[in-house]
Structure 1
Amino acid sequence: MALDVDDLLKLVLVLVAVWLVLEILEGIVGIALGVVGSLGGILGVAVIVLIVLWLTDRI
């Protein structure tokens, strides 16, 4: 079974397309994790404030 140049070029094209899709997905996941990570600190402060308000009977 011999591979032609056209077949090899198609294989390279498919591999590069898969690589680009993976890079795009990595970027999207990185942005999503960055947003969730920054919300984690705000969420922690909100939980602490709610606990303090609950303990001081201000809720």
Structure 2
Amino acid sequence: MDSRADVEVETLLRIALVLVIVVLVLELLSMLISGLASLLGFLQPLILLAVAVLIVLWLFDRL
């Protein structure tokens, strides 16, 4: 009793289409994030420092 053949072709095509859409969305997000990082490149150390300070304050319950 092999149930692997019970999946219809349309269902497999829909799954493949969803996977392609997910890959495209991830590529677009990657391009957007890299573009944003290049615009804010000179501020990146300050942003990282601010995030580190916020994490330390949160850990010491000062936030």
With normalisation by structure 2, the TM-score equals 0.57
Q: After the TM superposition, which parts of structure 1 deviate over 3 Å for at least 4 consecutive aligned residues?
A: none
Q: Percent of aligned positions with the same letter in both sequences?
A: 36
The CA deviation string for residues 12-46 of structure 1, in whole angstroms up to 9 with x for no partner, is: 00000011001000000000001111xx18xxxxx
State the match for 2:36 in structure 1: 32
Structure 2 residue runs of 5 or longer lacking an equivalent are: 44-63
Structure 1 residue runs of 5 or longer lacking an equivalent are: 42-59
With normalisation by structure 1, the TM-score equals 0.61
Are residue 19 (structure 1) and residue 23 (structure 2) matched?
yes
Amino acid across the alignment from 1:36: L
Question: Which structure would you say has the larger Rg?
Answer: 1
Number of equivalences:
39
State the match for 2:12 in structure 1: 8
